[in-house]
Amino acid sequence: MSSSIKLIAQAPQITPEMLQAVSQRVQLPPRRLGTTKSEWHEVEVTHAQARQWSRELGIDINLMPMQAQWADYRLMAFDMDSTMITIECLDEIADYAGRKAEVAAITEAAMRGEITDYNESLQRRVAMLAGLDASALQAVYDERLKLTPGVEALLAHAHAQGIQVLLVSGGFTFYTDRLRDRLGLAFTRSNQLEIVQGKMTGRLIGEIVNAEVKRRTVLEVCEQLGCTAAQTMVFGDGANDLLMMRVAGMSVAHRAKPVVQDQATHAINYTGLDSVLGWFAS
């Protein structure tokens, strides 16, 4: 294990007790102190240890190379539901059809990796929307869709660094198109709901954006940009994000299911997405 690794602890408020607890575990004093972030340099810590300590102490703990730079990355790829935004759009649409509990239960199982056929599970959930007025889509956007805390600051920094942003989602074009325009995203890919005479038919149009399509989309965008997958950061929360996370140079689990937390290179559970800004050399 390289000693050129730093450990970064982040929380809404770093307390003396937190500092002491981390220092005891790494057997080193902190090198940089702050009210929301502190660092320990040249640590000998594994990913599994960092995850365990994070759970024990209720703070975000991540490992980074000491000399990591923003210039190392060319693309950020985001899942949408529960990652870039705080809700699961399909669950909220289903609420207007009186089917939220049924749909949400399938969504949760799929995100935890307990459903192997993602396509079938998505088609089953979408079928429950048949006959619902398409105005429900706009109502969800206007009344329920909220951006994840910190995402706007993170995206602003990415744009300033010349990093392109991809939003790739098992959700719907109705929302990814609006987020693309609202946030200045370069690329989007998602599923298209079939709507006939103002009503949802309960069917999708075209290829379903599943885990493999997400992975393929990341690689295709990298090819367009002339960069490698190692120059990509991928953000996700569910099992259908794992394939694209595995090809990325950095994978960030955002308040993610356990299967994702265990496999991602980094995790955010207690702070905003803008905590990523504190991971790089200043």
Question: Do 48 and 122 reside in the same domain of the chain?
Answer: no
| Separation CA 277–CA 279 (nearest Å) | 6
Question: Do 263 and 214 reside in the same domain of the chain?
Answer: yes
Question: Do 9 and 114 reside in the same domain of the chain?
Answer: no
Question: Do 138 and 205 reside in the same domain of the chain?
Answer: yes
Question: Do 154 and 231 reside in the same domain of the chain?
Answer: yes
| Separation CA 109–CA 42 (nearest Å) | 39
Task: Quote the pLDDT of residue 3.
Answer: 64
Question: Do 38 and 79 reside in the same domain of the chain?
Answer: no
Residues spanned by the domain of 143: 70-282
| Separation CA 173–CA 158 (nearest Å) | 23
| Structural domains of the chain, count | 2
Low-confidence ranges of the chain (pLDDT < 50): 1-2
Question: Catalytic residue numbers?
Answer: 79, 81
**CATH no. for residue 142?**
3.40.50.1000
Going by C-alpha positions, the residue among 206, 269, 255 that lies closest to residue 88 is: 255
Going by C-alpha positions, the residue among 248, 272, 243, 267 that lies closest to residue 257 is: 267
Question: Do 231 and 147 reside in the same domain of the chain?
Answer: yes
Question: Do 34 and 87 reside in the same domain of the chain?
Answer: no
Question: Do 25 and 79 reside in the same domain of the chain?
Answer: no
Question: Do 30 and 107 reside in the same domain of the chain?
Answer: no
Task: Quote the pLDDT of residue 2.
Answer: 45
Question: Do 110 and 42 reside in the same domain of the chain?
Answer: no
pLDDT > 90 fraction of the chain, expressed in percent and rounded: 95
Going by C-alpha positions, the residue among 227, 226, 237 that lies closest to residue 266 is: 237
Task: Quote the pLDDT of residue 282.
Answer: 57
